[in-house]
Amino acid sequence: MPGLALGRRLTAACAVSVALLAGCSSASSKPAVCADLDSLKAAVSGLKDTTVSASGFSAVSDQLSKVRQQLQAVEKDAKGQYATQVAGLSNAISSLSSSLDAAKADLTAATLTAVAVAAGSVVTAGQSLVTAVSDTC
């Protein structure tokens, strides 16, 4: 009955192999960039909810830093995907940073308007990136 014992061992080995393969295939996870999505959404939403009059420039700058950090995480994990949206948000961040610097140096209605417009552009570009990544996640 050595053949019977060998058959049982092969059956057991096959069962273990199938279980391992099933475990591997069911462990397929979402791309790493998906994990960054909620943080990016929160940072963009936080910027949208920040007002210069109520919070001052430091609050806007702090929230802008959070958006920038989350963009870096998304960009790293996206590995070139969403390049158009990443570039759009990066450009909007640079514009808002410049507008903030100008407003700090010379506070006028024009510089405050430029900050508001640039902040709106960051929010729009951030939402565009979130939408693009959401389609993948």
- Residue 77: closest CA among 127, 29, 122: 29
Q: Note if the pTM is more than 0.85.
A: no
Unique residue bearing structure tokens 């565009």: 128
pLDDT in tens, 41-87: 999 999 999 987 656 788 999 999 999 999 999 999 999 999 999 99
Q: What is the distance in angstroms between the CA of the first residue and the CA of the last residue of the chain?
A: 54
Unique residue bearing structure tokens 């910027």: 47
How many CB atoms are closer than 10 A to CB 21? Answer: 10
- Residue 50: closest CA among 92, 58, 100: 58
> Which pLDDT belongs to residue 35?
85
Tokens of 53: 């009059």
For residues 120 and 22, the model is more confident at: 120
Q: What is the C-alpha to C-alpha distance for residues 121 and 110, in angstroms, rounded to an integer?
A: 16
> Which pLDDT belongs to residue 32?
86
Q: What is the C-alpha to C-alpha distance for residues 1 and 31, in angstroms, rounded to an integer?
A: 51
